[in-house]
Chain A
Amino acid sequence: MSGWAAGPAEAVFREEWGRLLATLVRWVGDFDLAEEVAADAIAAAVERWPVDGVPDKPGAWLLTTARRRAVDILRRRQNYAAKLAVLKVEAERDEVARLSEPASAGVDAGADVIGDDSLRLFFTCCHPALSAEARVALTLRYLAGLSTAQVARAFLVPEGTMAQRLVRAKQKIGKAGIPYRVPSATELPGRLPAVLSVVYVVFTEAYAASNGAALIRPELADEAIRLARILHRLLPAEAEVTGLLALLLLVDARREARVDAGGDLVLLEDQDRSRWDQGRIVEGRTLVLEALRHRPPGPYALQAAIAAVHDEAPTADATDWTQIVGLYDVLRATAPSPIVDLNRAVAIAMAHGPAAGLGLLDELAAGGALDRFHPLHAARGRLLDRLGRPADAIPAYRRAVELCGNDAERAFLLRCLGAAQRRVAEG
């Protein structure tokens, strides 16, 4: 505990922030007030802890301080709702006392209460009645504990725009009466995918940043993994939660090898596999095996299994493409989407040759659903190249370059385009 005071205050309080806020929202039933008193409590801690020392139960100390502050503010408000809230918050005194008990039995009970509140907050922030953008923003702000400025950076929008978006989302929660509760067991299968999808969106944005200069945004990838870990701790029996955490770890394991010293994209087949993070791979493989025990396996578990097959291959040539195609077949039956079809076509090209894959890609291109999705055009270009048809590859690369919003990825596609043009010129 003493290490806390020594470390950078931000890291400590970010850890506490989500938990503190989750419980306060339940007590006061108001995001803005919860946020205000949580910030006050943390400000008080920054002032007091270096002088008085870090309390034995920092979380309970923060909660008590925030609770007192909430009561003060609510007492000054004269309306009926505020009076009711004061009664409710006063009643929570016993709960804080229980959390503060040094007895070991009390620690477990406390952990459960805090865990339930975090889970409530997840389901409220990821409620289907909120827009997809609002869900991601709320989750990063209130569960990952990012500041509004940091959330704005994640979305590449001005801070004012993000502040406005968060205000509107909180208003919707309050005015529309979005409940602060964990869905029942029968509702859970319908509600969990929205929560998982928020974490997945944060991760994919980190990994294939849709706009901007950097290819990977490590801080966002770390956030997504942290959120997935929290969810896994809260819902250890949900196979898709386990599958999602496994997927993120198994993909993120290749982070260091995915970009070269110059910041350029390195394709999976060209990566230096000794730079893959073995710790993440081992952890991810254990989790994916656990997730796959659930029948039928869900889409995240299947994608994690595909990532695991890649991670297990000592060289690109040793990749078990037949197994990957098989997994894509199952994924396609479980969660059909044009993007799954695209990835499956690429895997088929690897397993059975570029001509087989190109046929499927042409069908997909004719379907039109992925017309504005640059990876389709990039994949077509690459297969045409491999078939010795650089003249046909050129328009495909051109279209991919046109649609790609990420600088590092566009640079890579321009190199492919240049190489194809040279081959045509050389005849």
Chain B
Amino acid sequence: MQYLLLIYSEPAGGEAPPQDQLDAEMAEWFAYDEAIRKSGVYVDGNALEPTHTATTLRLKDGERVVTDGPFAETREVLGGYYLVDVPDLDTALDWAAKCPGARYGSMEVRPITVFDQG
């Protein structure tokens, strides 16, 4: 099954943490990224630009309604994702737990819908 591991965290704000702490965090992300790519479960993955760059669109009576910002303003925002192909939820949760995002924020694990081939 394919699962989307959605990485949510509080947006960075205020004073930037010291450089050595940033370096350590980046090293964790690189290590995780390398591990998941090499494991064979990796399908896709990306980081996202901050929510102030987001644009939301819906059609109302056939007309485009475009608004600035993300779909919902929440404290934690979607910052990136991994798409993995694993046997079951437990394995997907294992990968989510290893992700540094689980420590700095939270991970939402969503199965990808499989449409019946008939």
Q: Indicate if B116 sits at the interface (CB-CB under 8 A).
A: yes
* A81-B116, A129-B93, A177-B111 given; 12 more Cβ-contact pairs under 8 Å: A79-B117, A127-B89, A176-B89, A176-B109, A176-B111, A177-B88, A177-B89, A177-B92, A178-B88, A178-B89, A179-B88, A179-B90
Number of interface residues, chain B, beta carbon within 8 A: 14
Q: B1-20 interface mask toward A, CB cutoff 8 Å, 1 = contact, 0 = none? A: 10100000000000000000
Q: Indicate if A78 sits at the interface (CB-CB under 8 A).
A: yes
Q: Indicate if B118 sits at the interface (CB-CB under 8 A).
A: yes
Say which size band chain A's interface belongs to. Answer: 10 to 19
Chain A: interface secondary structure?
Answer: loop
CB of B117 within 8 A of CB of A175, answer no
Q: Which residues does chain B contribute within 8 Å of A177, judged by CB atoms?
A: 1, 3, 87-89, 92, 111
The distance from the CB of B45 to the nearest CB of chain A, in whole angstroms, is 19
Q: Which residues does chain A contribute within 8 Å of B92, judged by CB atoms?
A: 177
Pairs A–B under 8 Å by Cβ, sample size 9: A78-B118, A79-B117, A79-B118, A129-B93, A175-B113, A176-B111, A177-B88, A178-B89, A178-B90
How distant is the Cα of A176 from the Cα of B114 in the complex, in angstroms? 11
How distant is the Cα of A127 from the Cα of B89 in the complex, in angstroms? 10
Identify the closest chain A residue to B118 (Cβ).
A79
Q: Which residues does chain A contribute within 8 Å of B3, judged by CB atoms?
A: 177
Q: B98-118 interface mask toward A, CB cutoff 8 Å, 1 = contact, 0 = none? A: 000000000001010100111
Q: B64-107 interface mask toward A, CB cutoff 8 Å, 1 = contact, 0 = none? A: 00000000000000000000000111101100000000000000
How distant is the Cα of A179 from the Cα of B87 in the complex, in angstroms? 9
Which residues of B from 26 to 80 have beta carbons under 8 Å from A?
Answer: none
Q: Which residues does chain B contribute within 8 Å of A187, judged by CB atoms?
A: 90
Interface centre among B90, B111, B116, B117 (most CB of A within 10 A): B90
